[in-house]
């Protein structure tokens, strides 16, 4: 919300565009989040960053709880980046 207000004040984004395409924007954000979760699930099972990775054997439980405690991609701690922004 703050980003939208700042971009509108700087006249970089038309608020009408965001309003007219809100469904498409939300759909893209949800698909991106799902793809990130699936990527992290398979990465945690096959290419863990640390020794604290594991599997319970239940796909739904592993997907929900995660397979790595601190997932890293290219040296970036994704858990910190996503949660702390």
In tens digits, the chain (85 residues) has pLDDT values of: 788 788 889 988 888 888 899 999 999 999 999 998 899 888 887 888 778 777 787 888 878 888 887 888 888 888 788 887 6
Beta strands in the chain (DSSP E): 72-73, 76-77
- Nearest alpha carbon to residue 42 among 21, 59, 28: 59
* Model pTM score: 0.73
SS3 58: coil
User: Rounded to whole angstroms, how far apart are CA atoms 1 and 55?
Assistant: 37
pLDDT given at position 85: 61
pLDDT given at position 48: 81
Residue 46 near residue 67, CB atoms below 8 Å: no
- 49 exposure class (CB count in 10 Å sphere: 0-12, 13-18, 19+): middle
């Amino acid at each position: 919300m703050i980003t939208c207000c700042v971009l509108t004040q700087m006249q970089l984004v038309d608020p009408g565009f965001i309003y007219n395409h809100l469904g498409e924007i939300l759909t893209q954000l949800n698909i991106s989040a799902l793809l990130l979760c699936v990527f992290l699930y398979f990465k945690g099972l096959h290419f863990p960053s640390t020794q604290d990775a594991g599997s319970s054997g239940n796909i739904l439980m592993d997907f929900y709880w995660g397979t790595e405690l601190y997932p890293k991609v290219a040296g970036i701690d994704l858990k910190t980046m996503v949660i702390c922004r």
